[in-house]
Structure formats: structure tokens, C-alpha cells
């Protein structure tokens, strides 16, 4: 049995920020299901929203966030996170993140700020159009110099371990079972504190901008351990992902629309002005639904995003990643429109936490997309996600440090993983078929537009799949694919249950059976 002061499950911006900020006298395990930089952070393009322009204000950022959240944002959380934005940007600069700058009219160097959907000002700090990669690469390079951090790549967490404290009679988290994917060995890891920084749930849908590791592991583990989850119905679909038969779903940054890109039908007609006065700069839920509406109305496979009014030199300077990616598929964005479709992108719900990342299970924290702090409400405003990761990571570190200073140093004895009743799996086709069916059912029935009948059909199918998967899990030796499949079917179930409870349309949850917003009955979080 391995023992640590803090075990961090997840190696994106949230997990790395916690690891880097914790005092170096703590012994830390950093668990990464794949390679350390393979997570949603690395693929984030747009940037980090923060009030850096003298013409901008925290009040304006707060108002924009509250408006995007459709009445469900927790105002105290919004105020704290927004007001901490500049401090976190300065911390990233200290770490070495190379944000894009420009020369002002007075000759001084300043941040180049972009504007994205829902924002009333230019306030998105970025590193060209690969901000996530710049942040991830910088933080990874820093963490490798920390002798107190044990990096465990290709290790998949299976379940949290809990015990009842003899003194308080209260259940608490004391570690996790973790699969070493290379050896097949399951480790029982004891930790005084566990931090879930496992990211989102995008792979529960057929089309997603998320990397393959986004299977909702932290949320599923927390739910099985007795944590509350909230607002799982609010899944954000990014409006503009590259549509190409040879490409995986590749996100095209919202900053393109911030710089004037227009959404067009195949005949070249612009359509967003008919749906919202903010047109292409409307919040993502409105833009995604508008695209979905036009595609279904006209029987289209995609619509088009046109940035060709900008010069090639401008595009190469500000969007080199998008330019190069599209060029690889034969698309010159300087002269022709880009075929795009919506794809599952971000979960606004998750494990219920406070602003310190604390869950209702003592000694368990959650940070980043796996957590639901109340910042996003019913819809996340663009580039607020990395901001939340950084701010909550900072407050979590303060809370964890205080907790470990006051708590006993004794590690609880935990039982080793018991694999005596299982055999080697010989029907992996069951895993692949179940995975495919979950994603297709969720895309068809629990996607951008929902109905009662679609949700009932999805629930019936998930009930059957969950039974089959749990039977398979209890009979065969655990594998990374089986761990993810078990988590995915639970995540699908939580999304469906939450969507059935919310009998209104609000933010990212839109249902044809209840097309209006109902503030009388549903102006609150959906807590399971």
C-alpha cells in the first residue's frame, strides 16, 4: 500500500495548479489516466477571461456571467472568482505562460485581449489560439521539477475508498483504488486528502470536442462514494467544430467569431441575426440551437463559418492553429468558409462543492470541470472555465493545507484490491458495442434539443446497458476500457435523470415539451 498526504486524480490545469501551489513538505501523488498532458486543458484554444483592460470592470464581467447562467449562477461564487482573475493571470505569468501581447498606441506592451460570446468587453487573455497547450505545457514543465510530487501516468482511478472515523463517526475519503494500465495491477493508495480534477464527460456523446479521456470518471466515483451532484442536464455544445469526413471532431475557437467570423448557410446567407441581436456573439447555447435548427430545417450535414474577410497575415498571427489544422484538410480559411457542426463540449454541472472545492464527503475535494461550484449556472460563458480551475485550485490549496495541519498524521489501513472472483475478459466486443450505443443514444435523445419521449427512451436503454455492464464488471478482470464504460453509463443516467426533473427550458437544457423558462418552480439547482 502506498501512502500520501494528497492524491490528485487528473493532470489538467486544475490538478496541476493544486499540485504546484501545495506546500512542498506534503507528499503528493499526481494520477494521470493517460500521458500527463492528455486532457481538455491541452486542447482549449480560446483563453482565460479576466478583467485586464482599464476600460473593463469586475462588475461588467460579473453581470455577463450572471446573464449567461440564466438565473442559476451563485452570485457570491461569481463575484469571488471574477475578482480573483487578475491575480491568477499574474500567477500563470510567474510560471512562464507566454500570453499574446501587442504594442499599444503609447508604445507599451500589453495583453492582446479577444472577445467571445456573452462578453461585453475584450477580456480573454490568450496565447494565440492554443492557450490550453501553452498553460498545460508550462505547468507540466514546472511540476517535473518538484521532488515531492510522484507522477503516475497511465494510471486509471477505479473507485474512492472511504471509512468511518472512530472519533467523529463520520464517513470520510481515505484514498482510491488505481489501475496501473501497463502492468494490470490494481493499487490501493492511501491518502489523507483526495482531489478529483478529472475533467468532463464529453465522450458520453457521439460527437465531442473533448479528448478520449473525458469519461466523467471523477463524477462517477464521487457519486458512488455518496457525494451530491448537481445540474447534470446542462451540457454545453460548442457551436463550431470542424466537419470533415477524415477528421475527428476538432474545435474551432470562439475567438474566430469574436474577430468577425460569420455563420452561413450553404447558399452564403447569414442566419444568426434572425435568432439573436448579438448574432454570432450570442452565448453558446443560443448559437448551437440556431445551428441545430437550421441543419434540421434544411436537412444539412453542416453549416459554414466564414473568416475570409480577414487577411491571411492576420489569421496566421492570431489563429495559427486553426489555420494549419484546416489546411491539413484542404481548407484555406483565408479564402473559403469552414464547414462546422456543434459538438458536446463542457459540463456545467458536476460534484457539488463550495468555493474551496470541498465536497460533502470529508477529505474529498473536486476542482475544475468535474465540480459544480455554482459559477456557470445553466450555461458557461466562454473562457470562464480555465479561470474557475485556477481560482478554485488556489482556494482549495488553502483549505487542504489548513486541514492537514489540524488533522492526525496517521494513515488508515485499507484493504487491498480483491480480484479473486474474476477472470480474464474474453468478449471485448461487448465493451465496444456498449460504448457505441451509449454515445449514440445520448446524441439522438439527450442532445441539444430534448423531449419527454426521447428522455424516456434513453432511460430505458441505459437501464438495460447498466445491468449488462455491471454484470460484466463483476465477472471479469478490470481494464481501463471497462472502467470508463462503467463510468460512462452512470454519467448518462445522471444526465437523463436531471433532464427529466427540469421541466422547463433554461440555458443549455432545451425541451420541446416545456419550451419556456419557469422561474416559479425551477429557479434552483437540480441536485441528485
Q: Select from 30, 15, 5 the least CA-distant residue to 367.
A: 15
Residue 188, beta-bridge partner list: 177
Cα 346 to Cα 198: distance, rounded to the nearest angstrom? 13
Cα 77 to Cα 79: distance, rounded to the nearest angstrom? 5
Q: How many CB atoms lie within 10 A of CB 177?
A: 21
Cα 314 to Cα 486: distance, rounded to the nearest angstrom? 46
Cα 197 to Cα 187: distance, rounded to the nearest angstrom? 19
The set of residues, in sequence order, having a beta carbon less than 8 Å from that of 250 and lying 6+ positions away, is 209, 241, 242, 325
Q: Select from 368, 323, 401 the least CA-distant residue to 135.
A: 368
Cα 92 to Cα 88: distance, rounded to the nearest angstrom? 6
The CA–CA distances, whole Å, from 316 to 76, 280, 313, 350 equal: 40, 22, 5, 37
208: its cell numbers: 465531442
DSSP reduced 3-state for 528: coil
Q: Select from 135, 155, 151 the least CA-distant residue to 143.
A: 151
Q: Quick check: is 450 catalytic?
A: no
Cα 387 to Cα 375: distance, rounded to the nearest angstrom? 10
Cα 352 to Cα 180: distance, rounded to the nearest angstrom? 29
Radius of gyration of the chain (CA): 22
Q: Please report, for the chain, how many H helices and E strands are present, in that order.
A: 16, 20
Pick the catalytic residue from 284, 380, 486, 506. Answer: 284
Quick one: CA torsion of 469, 29, 48, 119, rounded to 10 degrees? 50
334: its cell numbers: 483565408
Q: Select from 361, 7, 28, 27 the least CA-distant residue to 162.
A: 361
The CA–CA distances, whole Å, from 427 to 464, 469, 473, 475, 486 equal: 18, 12, 12, 12, 15
* DSSP per position, 354-399: -TT-B-SSTTEEE-GGGEE-SSSTTSPPTTHHHHHHHHHHHHHHHH
The catalytic residue positions are: 284
Amino acid at each position: 500500500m502506498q501512502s500520501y498526504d494528497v492524491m490528485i486524480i487528473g493532470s489538467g490545469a486544475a490538478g496541476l495548479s493544486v499540485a504546484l501551489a501545495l506546500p512542498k513538505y506534503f507528499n503528493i501523488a499526481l494520477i494521470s489516466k493517460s500521458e500527463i498532458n492528455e486532457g481538455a486543458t491541452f486542447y482549449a484554444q480560446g483563453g482565460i477571461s479576466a478583467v485586464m483592460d482599464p476600460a473593463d470592470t469586475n462588475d461588467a464581467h460579473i453581470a455577463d456571467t450572471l446573464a449567461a447562467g440564466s438565473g442559476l449562477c451563485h452570485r457570491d461564487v461569481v463575484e469571488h472568482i471574477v475578482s480573483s482573475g487578475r491575480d491568477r493571470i499574474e500567477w500563470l505569468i510567474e510560471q512562464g505562460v507566454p500570453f499574446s501581447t501587442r504594442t499599444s498606441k503609447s508604445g507599451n506592451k500589453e495583453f492582446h485581449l479577444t472577445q467571445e460570446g456573452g462578453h461585453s468587453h475584450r477580456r480573454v487573455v490568450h496565447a494565440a489560439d492554443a492557450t490550453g497547450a501553452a498553460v498545460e505545457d508550462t505547468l507540466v514543465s514546472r511540476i517535473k521539477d518538484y521532488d515531492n510530487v510522484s507522477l503516475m501516468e497511465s494510471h486509471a482511478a477505479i473507485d474512492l475508498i472511504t471509512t468511518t472515523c472512530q472519533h467523529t463517526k463520520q464517513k470520510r475519503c481515505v484514498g482510491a483504488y488505481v489501475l496501473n494500465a501497463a502492468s494490470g495491477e490494481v493499487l490501493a493508495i492511501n491518502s489523507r486528502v483526495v482531489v478529483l480534477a478529472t475533467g468532463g464527460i464529453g465522450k458520453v456523446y457521439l460527437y465531442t470536442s473533448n479528448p478520449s479521456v473525458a469519461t466523467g470518471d471523477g463524477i462517477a466515483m464521487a457519486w458512488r462514494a455518496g457525494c451530491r451532484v448537481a445540474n447534470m442536464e446542462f451540457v454545453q455544445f460548442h457551436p463550431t467544430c470542424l466537419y470533415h469526413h477524415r477528421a475527428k471532431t476538432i474545435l474551432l475557437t470562439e475567438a474566430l467569431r469574436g474577430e468577425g467570423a460569420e455563420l452561413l448557410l450553404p447558399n452564403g446567407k447569414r442566419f444568426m441575426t434572425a435568432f439573436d441581436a448579438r448574432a454570432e456573439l450570442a452565448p453558446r447555447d443560443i448559437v448551437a440551437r440556431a445551428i441545430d435548427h437550421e441543419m434540421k430545417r434544411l436537412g444539412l450535414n453542416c453549416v459554414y463559418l466564414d473568416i475570409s474577410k480577414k487577411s491571411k497575415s492576420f489569421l496566421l498571427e492570431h489563429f495559427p492553429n486553426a489555420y494549419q489544422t484546416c489546411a491539413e484538410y484542404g481548407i484555406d480559411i483565408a479564402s473559403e468558409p469552414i464547414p462546422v457542426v456543434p459538438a458536446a463540449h463542457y459540463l456545467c454541472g458536476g460534484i457539488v462543492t463550495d468555493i474551496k472545492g470541498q465536497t460533502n464527503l470529508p477529505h474529498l475535494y473536486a476542482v475544475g470541470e468535474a465540480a459544480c461550484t455554482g459559477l456557470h449556472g445553466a450555461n458557461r460563458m466562454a473562457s470562464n472555465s480555465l479561470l474557475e480551475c485556477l481560482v478554485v485550485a488556489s482556494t482549495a490549496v488553502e483549505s487542504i493545507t489548513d486541514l492537514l495541519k489540524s488533522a492526525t498524521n496517521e494513515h488508515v489501513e485499507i484493504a487491498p484490491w480483491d480480484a479473486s472472483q474474476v477472470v480474464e475478459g474474453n468478449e471485448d466486443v461487448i465493451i465496444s458495442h456498449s460504448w457505441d450505443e451509449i454515445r449514440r443514444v445520448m446524441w439522438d435523445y439527450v442532445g441539444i434539443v430534448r423531449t419527454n419521449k426521447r428522455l424516456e427512451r434513453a432511460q430505458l436503454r441505459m437501464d438495460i446497458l447498466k445491468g449488462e455492464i455491471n454484470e460484466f464488471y463483476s465477472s471479469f478482470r478490470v481494464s481501463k476500457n471497462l472502467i470508463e464504460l462503467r463510468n460512462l453509463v452512470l454519467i448518462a443516467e445522471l444526465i437523463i435523470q436531471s433532464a427529466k426533473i427540469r421541466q422547463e427550458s433554461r440555458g443549455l437544457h432545451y425541451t420541446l415539451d416545456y419550451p419556456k423558462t419557469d422561474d416559479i418552480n425551477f429557479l434552483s439547482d437540480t441536485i441528485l
